[in-house]
């Protein structure tokens, strides 16, 4: 039985889920779904990897070894070294592997890739520990985001790519009636991959943000190089290793998928991106480097960059539930998520609730109390906040003390009994007048929140819209009990291509995007030029070629 036959039912379910957009998860997010021994085995596997060379990759041509990962929890180096390769070697190996991978049909490629996900599934716990100790995410978030949620995003991309490559028939008999005779042509249609693909990973979500582009490029026949962030390599190295093993088992060149690790003293990202044989680039990270990548001539580039996400508060039915939801959303992973809200726009006259109007000042006070309740909670605290991934984010938190703005809530170090050396801090809340836009108009990555006093809801919407137009936004959260206001917010934010989430109060948060249902980034504003996973995300990785014969 081929891998395609083995996984055909899974692919068909994923294709249907993409079309229906309802809840679907091939890989359960609950840890207990993976067996009693999986947690212990995963932790042991991670511990055994520390202080050693990562030798699972089936790549050749290394020029040395290096690594610089450091745990935000223990502040200790992981001590793992990865094989290092020059950009030319990586691209040359990919070019040699290109033809054989392209010759396979979409079915064969999809089967191989879903099989790889099946193997990766067995290492979810190991990947979780690797993610936790490179990104600072809590363990459960690391497990879900880098394990099942990432795998679902990968499957989503495979299914979309498979469906799009099967959209047209492989061959038809084309007959044009001409009256007394017909003209007949045999026409063939074939998808041609664009070439070598490069995926540039980020430090905070090393698999979730990497696998959509990785699997989309591979599924469409492009050999792919993964260039992880030097501080967060292990989670995606495991993924690449499993893909390579499946490729080798099928008699294919494992260099179809390569890990291009580097170190901060010898970065290879620009050299790879500018290489003439690199045709496709996926990128997650800061806007400056993303803009540079988008400017490269002759490349197909998919970016997710920085954005300024807003929350508009107009009126609410259940204020305590609302405050608990938004306090959790700003606390989750210490705001180190591209979907986290930063600016909360509140009218100076306050907002209407089921129990009457709550003033601006009271709302700010209650919001701060809700945040403190999470940060100081003995069980929720570190479990929600996680750790700060790097010192730059921590320094940014310190630097806001120099801003000419009211500090509504001072950030405080957060302790962990399990990890005494943890780099963690509670959110800082700053209160600003709307006209001081220079204070809050740019992304302040990390646990930094601005509460902005506006004239009224119309002013709040206009400012959120203007920021999205100028700087981009990935999400927008809004609260209103007025149907007319709801439609107004929709219409205004649509003009700057920002999706809006309304009136969340339960166990789902604006930060969370679900595979097979939510399009992550719209591609319509400055926060990024692509959206995964929609058809454009896969179609731009290949071209249709037609052959005609009389």
Closest CA to 312 of 438, 454, 472: 454
CA angle 536/539/545 to nearest 5° reads: 150
> What pLDDT score does 43 carry?
97
> What pLDDT score does 88 carry?
98
> What pLDDT score does 379 carry?
81
CA-CA distance, 379 to 334, in Å (whole number)? 16
Residue partners of 203: CB distance under 8 A and separation at least 6: 134, 135, 229, 231, 232, 389, 390
Q: How would residue 404 be classed by pLDDT, with cut points 50, 70 and 90?
A: low
Burial class (CB in 10 A: 0-12, 13-18, 19+), 37: exposed
Closest CA to 92 of 230, 200, 266, 225: 225
pLDDT tens digit sequence for 508-529:
999 999 999 999 999 999 999 9
Is the per-residue pLDDT at 26 higher than 80? yes
Q: How would residue 407 be classed by pLDDT, with cut points 50, 70 and 90?
A: confident
Is the per-residue pLDDT at 175 higher than 80? yes
How many residues does this entry show for the chain? 550
Is the per-residue pLDDT at 368 higher than 80? yes
Q: 3-class secondary structure for 107-139?
A: HHHHHHHHHHHHHHHCCHHHHHHHHHHHHCCCH
Domains in the chain, start-ordered, CATH in brackets?
3-305 (3.40.605.10), 310-502 (3.40.309.10)
**β 476-479/310-313 pair status:** parallel
Is the per-residue pLDDT at 208 higher than 90? yes
| H-helix or E-strand spanning residue 210 | none
pLDDT tens digit sequence for 237-267:
999 999 999 999 999 999 999 999 999 999 9
Mean pLDDT of the chain: 96
pLDDT tens digit sequence for 251-308:
999 999 999 999 999 999 999 999 999 999 999 999 999 999 999 999 999 999 999 9
Q: What is the dihedral of CA 6, 7, 8, 13, to 10 degrees?
A: 150
> What pLDDT score does 304 carry?
97
Closest CA to 307 of 327, 326, 286: 286
Burial class (CB in 10 A: 0-12, 13-18, 19+), 490: middle
């Amino acid at each position: 039985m081929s891998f395609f036959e083995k996984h055909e039912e899974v692919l068909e379910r994923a294709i249907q889920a993409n079309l229906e957009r309802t809840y679907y998860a091939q890989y359960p997010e609950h840890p207990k779904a993976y067996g009693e021994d999986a947690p212990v085995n995963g932790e042991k596997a991670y511990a055994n990897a520390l202080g050693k060379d990562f030798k699972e990759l089936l790549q050749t041509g290394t020029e040395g070894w290096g690594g610089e990962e450091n745990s935000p929890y223990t502040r200790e180096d992981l001590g793992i070294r990865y094989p290092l390769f020059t950009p030319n070697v990586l691209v040359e190996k990919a070019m040699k592997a290109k033809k054989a991978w392209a010759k396979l049909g979409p079915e064969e490629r999809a089967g191989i890739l879903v099989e790889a996900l099946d193997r990766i599934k067995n290492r979810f716990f190991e990947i979780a520990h690797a993610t936790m100790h490179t990104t600072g995410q809590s363990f459960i978030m690391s497990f879900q985001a880098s394990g099942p949620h990432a795998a679902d995003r990968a499957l989503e991309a495979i299914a979309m790519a498979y469906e799009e490559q099967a959209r047209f028939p492989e061959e038809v008999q084309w007959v044009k009636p001409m009256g007394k005779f017909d003209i007949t042509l045999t026409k063939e249609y074939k998808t041609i991959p664009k070439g070598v693909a490069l995926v540039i990973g980020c430090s905070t979500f090393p698999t979730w943000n990497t696998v959509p582009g990785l699997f989309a490029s591979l599924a469409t026949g492009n050999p792919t190089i993964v260039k992880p962030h030097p501080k967060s390599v292990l989670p995606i190295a495991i993924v690449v290793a499993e893909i390579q093993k499946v490729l080798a088992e099928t008699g294919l060149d494992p260099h179809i998928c390569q890990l291009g690790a580097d170190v901060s003293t010898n970065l290879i990202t620009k050299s790879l991106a500018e290489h003439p044989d690199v045709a496709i680039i996926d990128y997650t990270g800061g806007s400056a480097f993303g803009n540079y990548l988008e400017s490269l001539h002759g490349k197909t580039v998919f970016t997710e960059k920085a954005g300024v996400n807003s929350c508009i508060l107009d009126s609410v039915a259940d204020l305590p539930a609302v405050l608990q939801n938004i306090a959790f959303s700003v606390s989750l992973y210490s705001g180190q998520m591209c979907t986290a809200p930063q600016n909360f726009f509140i009218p100076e006259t306050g907002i209407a609730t089921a129990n009457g109007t709550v003033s601006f000042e009271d709302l700010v006070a209650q919001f701060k109390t809700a945040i403190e309740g999470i940060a100081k909670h003995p069980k929720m605290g570190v479990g929600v906040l996680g750790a700060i991934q790097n010192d730059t984010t921590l320094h940014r938190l310190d630097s806001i003390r120099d801003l000419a703005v009211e500090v509504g809530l001072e950030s405080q170090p957060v302790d962990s009994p399990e990890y005494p050396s943890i780099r963690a801090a509670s959110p800082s809340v700053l209160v600003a007048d709307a006209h001081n836009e220079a204070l809050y108009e740019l992304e302040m990555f990390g646990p930094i929140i601005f509460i902005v006093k506006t004239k009224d809801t119309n002013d709040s919407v206009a400012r959120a819209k203007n920021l999205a137009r100028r700087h981009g936004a990935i999400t927008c959260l809004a609260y209103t009990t007025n149907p007319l206001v709801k439609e107004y917010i929709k219409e205004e934010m649509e003009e700057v291509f920002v999706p809006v989430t309304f009136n969340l109060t339960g166990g789902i948060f604006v930060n969370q995007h679900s595979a097979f249902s939510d399009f992550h980034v719209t591609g319509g504003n400055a926060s990024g030029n692509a959206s995964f996973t929609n058809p454009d995300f896969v179609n731009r990785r290949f071209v249709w070629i037609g052959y005609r014969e009389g």
